[in-house]
Structures are given as structure tokens and as C-alpha cells.
Amino acid sequence: MKKHTKIIATISDKRCDVEFLTQLFEEGMNVVRLNTAHQTHADAQKVIDNVRAVSDRIALLVDTKGPEIRTVDVEDDLFLNSGDKIKIKGKKEDEEAGDCLLVSYEDFVNDVEVGKKILIDDGELELLVIEKHDDFLLVEARNEGPIKNRKSVNVPGVSIKLPSLTKKDRTFIDFAIEQDIDFIAHSFVRNKEDIIEIQKILDKYDSKVKIIAKIENQEGVDNIDEILDHAYGIMVARGDLAIEIPAQKLPVIQRKIIRKCMERKKPVIIATQMLHSMIKSPRPTRAEVSDIANAIYNRTDAIMLSGETAYGDYPVESVRTMKEVAIEVEKELYPDTRKNFVPSNQELTAILARSAVKSSQLLPVKAIVTDTLTGRTGRYLSAYRGTSPVYALCYSKRVMRELALSYGVEAGYRKLLASRDEYVKQSMYTLMEKKYFTGDDMVIIIGGSFGPSKGVSFMEISKVDQLTHKV
């Protein structure tokens, strides 16, 4: 049994040789993520070249930094005890620290009010704002801990007015366009304008790169509907999100976002610390296994590994663990057509996709087969979360890789065929050669009678032998 849930692995240029990437691919990795916060263009190029040497089926996803705040100019680590007080402010150009802790956002003092919490280094140190002055905030440490250079700074519940794209982000977007990367995952998306700003750059160069919105703060959660109007998909980036939002609310938010993405028939990724202990341990904790299982029970499209594969001691084992948990949990899942959860909105493609998935549960169907020019039919079939595999024959290698993010879809590339009958026959022969099914198996085919550019228009249920012998 193959897994339906897709796996994303973060890869560093420090460990990206072809043999290593091949191992991850064979264990079930579908997408490679590059974290640009820690890479140069040359570093990223090394990863890209090696991924493409392994397989043209592996999709590439580039992360931007987005509007983040970090500590700056901390030459020596500063240790605070609970109750210690310190001044903090945003750094202006060429300004020295003096007696203040500096952060990378110049208007920090203007945006933050008395009574707000400031969290340093993913919440390891909590500071409370007790006084606000014209040019600095006086804060009190609520627990003990160090302040180091270039560590994250979060202010829960405060709308920070940073620009969506940094200078480095813009150069990496240009780089992604040049390299024909499949996805850009934009960090700290707050509203639709953050997505539109990137889309304008892509449109300027007529680029087909797709945008994944990383939801990492309350604003992103509050504006999820308008963000979904403009993004290709969503990543629930639980690291910063768990700092910005009370931890007990996170499972509910995760479930709601997954459901909204399914309604919109858009891919959704659950990310951050899914197998964090496996950075150093060969085995996961029970809580981590339950976390992965919960995301799959929620019906996510994809789950993501970060440090586990970027620099951890057990990267291959981490991917294997994810795959094995996915396969086990998916045995217990039923398609959402039972609840008719995903609306069809009177779209023919959606109605046929829903009918195909529903039929596959009522009949001894081995697989659903479709062809797709844009990937829409594959995404729609994925949205209904069936238990039968979906084999999508794509007329573009880019579309094939885009479907690497869609639940239950195994995409392949083939040249455009002249007629419906030729598509049906050649599809059956191709998939039988790969031993996906035999001539005696029953399959469902959906496709277009008037050419792939016109969308799907028919559904056929038959044994494979009957399809291959049609006149």
C-alpha cells in the first residue's frame, strides 16, 4: 500500500548529495524545501541541481524570510534573571546599541504598547513592557534566559507594520523565477496584499511559480479566507504560530484551516517539529507519532520535516517514520464524500470528481485515472480525499510536480494525445506497464471529450481490458 499524504523535507546545501536525496525520495519524500533564511543563491543552486539529478518528479519549494523581527548587534550573550529590567528599541541606520537591546524593526517602539509581551528566541525568554518612552521600551524579564544575536522577536497580538518583502526576499523570488522553481512559500503572510505583492512580480515575468501562504500569526488566521482567494495553497507553520497564539488553540486552528483548504480544493501543509526528537534520536516519541496521525486524521495534504532532514542525525529514518505512520493511519480513513463536505459549486469538474471518488468506494475500483493540463482535475479529486489512488497523466512536467503537494495523487508526464480513445488506451497501457493494475481490474476514468484544454466532460467505469480493446 502506498501512502496518500505527501512528505516535504527541508534540505541544506551542507547535505544534499545525490545518493542522500535518492534515499529520501525512495522512502517517500515528494517535495524538497529550501530555507532561504540560511542560504545564498549558490547554496540553493547546489540543492536544486542535485534534486533535479535524482528525479523530475520531486517538486522544489523555496521559503522566503518575510516580515520577521530579530535581535541585532548583540556581541556578547546577555543573560537575564526573572525580574531584571532592560531597555529595547528598533535600530535606526548606523545606530549603536548603547544601553539598549536593538531589534531589526526601526518603528518597534511605536507599534508596541505597555502591557504587551515580547518573546525572544521562539519564546524561550518572555519580556513584559512596563514603560513606554519616546525612543525606547522598558521591559521586565518574566523568566531567566539568554539574549543572543539574530534571534527571533515576537509580539503576540500586535500588528507589526513591516513591509511584506525584504530585499533578500525579492532577490530570491527573482532567483526562483530564473530557476523555474515550483513553489514559493512566503513567511508571515498577514493578508491578501502580502500574496498580491509577490504575484505582481511573478506576473511581470509571466512566471508559473505557485505561492504557498505560511500562516504564522493571528492576522494570518483571521484573514485566511481572503488569503485563500489569492494563494495556491497554505502552510500551517506551527513554530511561530504557537508563539503568537496560545498553544491550546493551535489544534483547533490547524483543523479549521485544513477544512477551509479542502473546501477551496487547495493543498495544505502542516509543518514544524513533527519529529523534532529525531534530530538526535533514532526513534520518535509517542506524542510525535500522535501529532502526525492527528494531522492525517484532519486530512492534511502534506506534512513537513525541517531540522530533521536539514541537519539531523536520522534524516532517512525520519522520512520513513512519516511514511509508515501515514500508511497506517490512512487505512482507517473514509472519503469525505460521505459527509459531502467539499462543495461542488455547480462546477462540472468538481461534480465529476466527487462522483468518481464516491463510486470508487461503492465498487471494487483499483484506481481513478485522469489527464490534466493545469492540474485542476487532480486537485479536485484530491479534495474529496478518497481511498483509491489517483493517477494523473499531466501534459506538463511543472503540473506533474505541482501535484506532488496534493493528497492521494500520483502524477506522471506524457505528451499530448490526439483523441479521447487514444488517451484512454495509452493511459491503460502505461499504468499496466508500471504494474499499478492488471487487465482484470476495474478503474474509473475521467477526462475531456473535447480536448484537455476544455476541462473534464466524461466519466467511465470499466475493466481495464475492455478499455484497451475499445474501437
CA distance 305 to 403: 19
15 is catalytic: no
The residue to which cell 534530530 is assigned: 279
Q: Are strands 145-147 and 458-463 parallel, antiparallel or unpaired?
A: unpaired
The residue to which cell 495523487 is assigned: 409
Query: Of these residues, 3, 65, 117, 214, which one is catalytic?
Result: 214
CA distance 441 to 281: 43
Query: Of these residues, 272, 349, 370, 372, which one is catalytic?
Result: 272
70: which DSSP letter? B
CA distance 437 to 45: 38
Cell of 189: 503572510
CA distance 351 to 380: 9
Contacts of 340 (CB under 8 A, 6+ apart): 354
Residue 101 sits at the vertex; the CA angle it makes with 96 and 102, to the nearest 5 degrees, is: 60
381 within 8 A of 356, measured Cβ to Cβ: yes
272 is catalytic: yes
Query: Of these residues, 33, 190, 192, 266, which one is catalytic?
Result: 33
CA distance 32 to 343: 31
Query: Of these residues, 3, 6, 65, 70, which one is catalytic?
Result: 70
CB atoms within 10 A of CB 207: 18
401 is catalytic: no
214 is catalytic: yes
123 within 8 A of 244, measured Cβ to Cβ: no
E-assigned strand segments in 195-286: 210-215, 233-237, 268-271
Annotated catalytic residues are 33, 70, 214, 272
